[in-house]
Structure 1
Amino acid sequence: MLVVVSDTHAREESKLQGRTAEAIREAELVIHAGDFYREPVLDAFQSAAASLRAVYGNNDDASIRDRVPEVRTVEYAGVRFAVTHRHRSGDTGLVMLGRGRDADAVICGHSHRPRFDDSGGLPILNPGSHAQPRGNRPAHAELTPTEGESGSEPALDGELVTPDGESFETFRIDGESGAQ
């Protein structure tokens, strides 16, 4: 399972609770889309996750920026993601970033609003914030490998989940062919 989180905004700890904490411990791979805030939080995620791929956000301090990139490409179960915290050109810029990295989808953070949007030519996943939702529902994303439509291409079934364990949106990302 792949777990995606973002926007922790903490000084000392990961603020992982409930299902979010369980999912991080169970995941083969965790992606954090930026705004840890302080370096001990990045360290806490590295300790909790079997494997962590992260980018820095606009509120991350210099020590985090020295350790993780602003943008990265991550592949999981044959699906390729462009990962960034935010893009100044909004969704259009995110789609262009993803296309430039030959990605099947884009993962971002920044807004603290969990959403999956596949209306713009390339799917965009924002897991929201598990720790500081700012008026939105606290959330993370869980993605599980599955077979694509033809049975031969890779795909991921995903859901947005609250720390209380409530799944409130489901989606699918297909490798090499977009989302459904």
Structure 2
Amino acid sequence: MIAILSDTHSRRGHELEGEALIAAREADTVIHAGDFTTETALEAFQNECDRLFAVHGNADEPAVCDRLPTARVVEAGGVRFAVTHRRDGGETGLAMFGRSRGADVVVFGHSHRPTVVETDDLTLLNPGSHADPRGNQPGFATLEERDDGGLEGSIRDPDGTVLESLEIRPA
């Protein structure tokens, strides 16, 4: 399983609970699209997750930014993920960012709004914020490998309620 999170915004720790905590603990790969805010939160994630691939966000303190890249590419489940916190240019900018990295999926954060946008050649995925939704539905995403290739999964509320389902087929 792949767990995808973003926008923790914590001074205390990972702020994971319920199904989000279970997913982070059980996932083979955890992707975080930035804004842990503090090293304490980042280290709490590192202690919870066996394989954490993260980027820093615009609200991360300098010590977090020093430890994490602005963008990265992660290959998991036969799919290529381009990860960033935000990109100027909205959906077009995100799609260009993903295409320039040969990605099947662009994982991003910043808006705290769970979002899935399908383009002709890739998927834009914002899992939302599990801990600081700022007026949006709290969220995180999980993806599982399909027997016939690709991934399927959902964005869910930390209590496990499915907000949106998605399917990803590699190019």
TM-score (norm 1): 0.92
* 2:22 is equivalent to residue 22 of structure 1: yes
Q: How many Å separate the matches in 2 of 1:80 and 1:115?
A: 19
Q: How many Å separate the matches in 2 of 1:6 and 1:136?
A: 13
> 1:124 corresponds to which residue?
124
Query: RMSD in angstroms over aligned alpha carbons?
Result: 1.0
Is the Cα–Cα contact under 8 Å of residues 95 and 120 in structure 1 kept in the other structure?
no
The number of residue pairs the alignment matches comes to 171
Q: How many Å separate the matches in 1 of 2:146 and 2:77?
A: 9
- The residue identity in structure 2 corresponding to 1:167 is V
Give 3-state SS (helix, strand or coil) of 2:12's partner.
coil
TM-score (norm 2): 0.97
> 2:140 corresponds to which residue?
140
Instruction: Give 1:68 deviation, angstroms.
Output: 0.8
Is the Cα–Cα contact under 8 Å of residues 145 and 157 in structure 1 kept in the other structure?
yes
> 1:2 corresponds to which residue?
2
Q: How many Å separate the matches in 1 of 2:28 and 2:71?
A: 21
Instruction: Give 1:120 deviation, angstroms.
Output: 5.8
> 2:63 corresponds to which residue?
63
Q: How many Å separate the matches in 2 of 1:79 and 1:122?
A: 11
Structure 1 gap ranges (5+)? none
Calculate percent identity across the aligned residue pairs.
49
Instruction: Give 1:119 deviation, angstroms.
Output: 3.6
Runs of 4+ in 1 over 2 A off after TM superposition: 119-122
- The residue identity in structure 2 corresponding to 1:29 is T
Instruction: Give 1:158 deviation, angstroms.
Output: 1.5
Change (3 A) 1:120 1:9: farther
Q: How many Å separate the matches in 1 of 2:56 and 2:81?
A: 16
> 1:170 corresponds to which residue?
165
Structure 2 gap ranges (5+)? none
